[in-house]
């Protein structure tokens, strides 16, 4: 999943100011819930900073335990179980739990020396536009392996890790980290070796979508602003350097040829593109470039016959390319540029997550899987 940019920005600011803070992370959900594993909240000793781990507000509930329990630097798990006699309807409502729902929240002090910092690692994933994965121990029956111990893998780099004394378990964790990078999916796993068993949260860290907008008109401004508000990276691409364009957009403006734009797009893990210059020849050139690119979504503003004509002019048999969307945006009644921006961003989000587009829904988490870590390398 993509970690919310406000959380990463706040964590960076707190580290820079050397202000002690806590990170609360949902690490396991059995049943359904408002927030899925990977949801986070930041707290200092005196105030909430950003993020949430529930659909309601249990900030005080977590905070009153956290500073005392983490004074020695060791993380701990809070388990919310509506079946427990001490839990009540407020807990069930806050997490959006069903009758059999259980949520585990890992609470830890940030910046403990010698430990993998998941938010600093995620920041590096975003900066480099590379995928990564973090595997965090959330239950341990191996005395030498503590809750909160981690291994982390960034594409193209050597793993970084805390001390995992059991080489068989470490190998299994690294294998699942690499699998999460490939799939882009987070999960919970359990491993067993001769020395005991551990439960882990395998978290895929994906850079945010990078939206390339091929058009500099006023109707592109709401699209750029909405994507930026969601934490996406945004670039406006043009073939002419104009002062007014740089004044109009609060994002990267790339001036160049379609080939130069393609090279920039190829550097991004989840590139998506919108063609909306309103100039037929320019749009046609950009569509031709994008069809041959790694873009995961290609939206072309205007009626479908206009796009079909472009493809025919380019001698491209791309009518059935699932990445190509024309007209663009979900159909829910669009009249203004701001409404069009909302429709486009919603469609891109649905396409990237292969999600049904009919309605927002709470996703059930996959079952926790059991894995026996054998002496032979895994993966």
pLDDT for the residue 186: 94
How far is residue 277's CA from residue 230's CA, in Å, rounded to a whole number? 23
Confidence of residue 73 (pLDDT cuts 50, 70, 90): confident
Name the percent of the chain lying above pLDDT 90.
59
How far is residue 65's CA from residue 348's CA, in Å, rounded to a whole number? 40
pLDDT for the residue 360: 41
pLDDT for the residue 200: 97
334-372 in b/e form (b: 16+ CB < 10 A) is: beeeeebbbbbbbbbbebbeeeeeeeeeeeebeeeeeee
pLDDT at 146 over 90: yes
235: Cα separation from own chain's centroid:
19
Tokens for 260, please give them.
Answer: 């130069």
Question: If we measure between CA atoms, which residue out of 121, 98, 120 comes closest to residue 30?
Answer: 98
- What domains sit in the chain, N to C, each tagged with a CATH number? 1-113 (no CATH), 129-207 (no CATH), 210-352 (3.40.50.720)
pLDDT for the residue 272: 97
The mean pLDDT of the chain is 85
**Alpha helix positions (H), the chain:** 5-16, 59-69, 89-95, 118-128, 167-183, 221-229, 243-248, 258-265, 280-291, 304-313, 337-352
Confidence of residue 66 (pLDDT cuts 50, 70, 90): confident
pLDDT for the residue 61: 62
The better pLDDT of the pair 34, 274 is held by 274
pLDDT for the residue 43: 86
The DSSP output letter for 120 is: H
How far is residue 135's CA from residue 204's CA, in Å, rounded to a whole number? 9
Question: What is the tens place of the pLDDT at every residue in 1-33?
Answer: 677 888 999 999 999 998 889 999 999 988 766
Confidence of residue 84 (pLDDT cuts 50, 70, 90): low
For residues 200-217, average pLDDT: 95
Q: For 299-356, give the DSSP string.
A: EE-S-HHHHHHHHHHTT---TT-TTEESS-S--S---SHHHHHHHHHHHHHHHHTT--
Question: What is the tens place of the pLDDT at every residue in 96-145?
Answer: 444 456 889 999 999 888 899 999 999 999 989 999 999 999 999 998 99
Cβ atoms of 193 and 373 within 8 Å: the answer is yes
pLDDT at 318 over 70: no
For residues 315-339, average pLDDT: 84
Confidence of residue 92 (pLDDT cuts 50, 70, 90): very low
Number of C-beta neighbours around residue 77 at 10 A = 16
């Amino acid at each position: 999943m993509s970690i919310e940019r406000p959380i990463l920005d706040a964590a960076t600011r707190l580290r820079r100011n050397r202000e002690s803070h806590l990170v609360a992370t949902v690490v396991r959900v059995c049943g359904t819930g408002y927030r899925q594993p990977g949801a986070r909240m930041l707290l200092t000793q005196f105030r909430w900073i950003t993020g949430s781990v529930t659909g309601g507000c249990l900030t005080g509930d977590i905070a009153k335990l956290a500073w005392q329990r983490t004074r020695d630097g060791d993380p701990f798990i809070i388990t919310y179980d509506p079946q427990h006699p001490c839990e009540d309807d407020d807990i069930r409502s806050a997490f959006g739990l069903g009758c059999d729902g259980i949520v585990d929240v890992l609470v830890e002090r940030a910046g403990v020396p010698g430990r993998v910092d998941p938010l600093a690692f995620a920041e590096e994933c975003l900066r480099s536009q590379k995928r990564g994965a973090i595997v965090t121990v959330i239950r341990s029956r191996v005395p030498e392996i503590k809750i909160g111990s981690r291994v982390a893998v960034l594409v193209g780099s050597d793993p970084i890790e805390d001390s995992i004394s059991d080489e068989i378990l470490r190998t299994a964790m690294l294998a699942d980290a690499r699998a999460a990078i490939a799939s882009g999916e987070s999960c919970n796993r359990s491993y067993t070796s001769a020395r005991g068993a551990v439960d882990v949260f395998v978290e895929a860290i994906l850079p945010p979508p990078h939206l390339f907008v091929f058009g500099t008109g006023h109707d592109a401004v709401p699209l750029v602003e909405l994507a930026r508000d969601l934490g996406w990276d945004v670039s406006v691409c043009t073939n002419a350097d104009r002062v007014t364009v740089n004044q109009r957009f609060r994002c990267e403006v790339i001036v160049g040829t379609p080939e130069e734009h393609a090279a920039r797009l190829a550097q991004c893990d989840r590139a998506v593109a919108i063609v909306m210059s309103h100039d037929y020849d320019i749009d046609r050139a950009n569509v031709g470039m994008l069809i041959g690119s790694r873009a995961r979504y290609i939206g072309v503003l205007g009626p479908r016959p206009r796009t079909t004509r472009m493809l025919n002019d380019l001698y491209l048999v791309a009518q059935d390319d699932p990445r190509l969307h024309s007209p663009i945006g979900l159909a829910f009644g669009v009249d203004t540029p701001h409404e069009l921006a909302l429709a486009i961003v919603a469609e891109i989000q649905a396409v990237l997550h292969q999600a049904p587009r009919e309605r927002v829904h709470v996703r059930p988490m996959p079952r926790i899987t059991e894995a026996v870590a054998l002496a032979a390398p895994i993966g």
